[in-house]
Amino acid sequence: MPWGESSVSDEKTKFIAALLDGQEMTEACREFGISRKTGYKWWVRYSERGPEGLKDQSRAPHRCPHRVGEELVKAILELRRKQASWGPKKLKQRLTKLAPDKPWPSRSTFAAVLHRHGLVAPRTVRQRIPAYQRPFIGAGTPNAIWTADFKGDFRTADGTRCYPLTIADCCSRYLLRCQALTSTAAEQALPVFEAAFKEYGLPLAIRTDNGVPFATTTLARLSSLSAWWVRLGVMPQFIEPGKPQQNGRHERMHRTLKAETTRPAAATLQAQQRRFNAFRAEFNHERPHEALEQATPASFYHPSPRPMPDRLPPLIYPDRFEVRYVSGNGGIRWERDWVNVSIVCAGEYVGLEEIDDGVWNVYFGALRLGRLHERHMRIEDADGRLKRR
């Protein structure tokens, strides 16, 4: 019969005891249901090491010629402890760039080293959602589209409320600004955009959500900040309300920003800004990006050829347009009547292009605000509504 399932070690001990009592090897193997090769193996082990030889032995190889050297393992662990959020791909790319002459192992070996030293946290399996491609049309070159958003606010250790404003290039993922502000007011956000425009030039468009200070409930969701962009020749783009995944690249950057700079928050707003500055330098110049084939955003990005003008240029419309001045109450005079436009456009000129009898497209610079219907003397918004809050 084969070894008993209840206790293999007892069967081995009984087998050796039978041999010691003088039983022949062939007869003992037949009685215990094992081959003579297995019988001689256990007899030799017992003869050399006694009862300890009957215990199960480790099957690990005595040597591994392809094992990663201690020096390389130490370098991998040191970089991982500095960059706790980096995975095997980023670690391999960075170490290969820093020391190209060393025989760095494969990505899977990097992963095995991290797992062996307890540096891999279990990951929650999430439902895979298809990428939202439509908003990124036209973002194939740097400065075609910038993205901007406020990261969720939090308090520093001294109780100051911090609202991080982030601006990034959509194509290269280059983080242009990460500024700690005390509110989301346009008065605080505008200088941050102005500094970015002066340093990097003007993009063609800026994509944001529908929150303050980027958007309002007026025509074309125009706010004082986005109206200033239009004056500079930068078109505002807004994602659909309640769908942050449409600006997924920016939201993914926010996830890393939160993990590396706000847990826990710094002692003061100034100390928090120093963390943001360090993160921005690392994110742009050191951190490999998988979507860029493990290159850094700085290696892809270049400033815009459109410089920030010294003076705000006037709004110019084609000769076929009717031009009207928007008064301080946010309206224009049309056919001896008053038509509400937007208080955001007060003090500026809008252009009207006739597209049908009594129907005019209304523009603020290059941005179409809506459609004026002379029958109602109201401007219809993009959703076809004549009445607005």
Separation of alpha carbons 113 and 95, rounded Å? 14
- Is the link from the previous residue into 264 a cis peptide, with omega within 30 of 0? yes
pLDDT for residue 362: 95
Which one is predicted more confidently, 64 or 344? 344
CA distance 43 to 353: 102
Q: Among 82-91, 114-123, 307-316, 362-371, which is the least confidently predicted range? A: 114-123
Q: Say whether both 140 and 280 belong to one domain.
A: yes
Q: What is the pLDDT of residues 22-63, one digit of tens each?
A: 888 888 888 888 898 988 888 888 888 887 777 777 777 777
Whether residues 152 and 292 fall in one domain? yes
262 and 335 co-located in one domain: no
Which H/E stretch holds residue 246? none
Count structural domains, the chain: 4
Instruction: Please tell me which residue, 112 or 169, carries the higher pLDDT value.
Output: 169
Residue 127 confidence (pLDDT): 53
Residue 200 lies in a domain: yes
Of 162, 365, 183, nearest to 275 (Cα)?
162
Q: What is the pLDDT of residue 31?
A: 85
Torsion of CA 87, 88, 89, 92, to 10 degrees: 130
Length of the chain: 389
Please classify residue 212 by burial: count the beta carbons closer than 10 Å to its beta carbon, then call 0-12 exposed, 13-18 middle and 19+ buried: middle
**Buried b / exposed e across 144-176, counting CB within 10 Å, b at 16+?**
bbbbbbbbeebebeeebebbbbbbbbbbbbbbb
Structure tokens at 170: 């959509």
Round to whole Å and give the CA distance between 169 and 250.
Answer: 9
Domain termination site, one of 81, 116, 151: 116
Rg (CA), the chain: 35
Are 138 and 278 in the same domain? yes
* Residue 133, pLDDT score: 47
Q: Hey, what amino acid is at 31?
A: E
**Residue 181 — very low, low, confident or very high, per pLDDT cuts 50/70/90?**
very high
pTM: 0.74
In a domain, 339, yes or no: yes
CATH of the domain at 221: 3.30.420.10
Least confident of 140-149, 305-314, 377-386: 377-386
Report the chain's mean pLDDT, rounded to a whole number.
88
Residue 88 lies in a domain: yes
In a domain, 60, yes or no: no
CB atoms within 10 A of CB 133: 8
**43 with 92, same domain?**
no
Residue 304 lies in a domain: no
Q: What is the pLDDT of residues 95-133, one digit of tens each?
A: 988 888 988 888 888 888 888 888 887 776 655 545 444
What is the extent of the structural domain holding 334?
322-380
The 10s digit of each residue's pLDDT in 229-253 is 999 999 999 998 888 888 889 999 9
Amino acid 81: pLDDT: 87
Is residue 388 in some structural domain? Answer: no
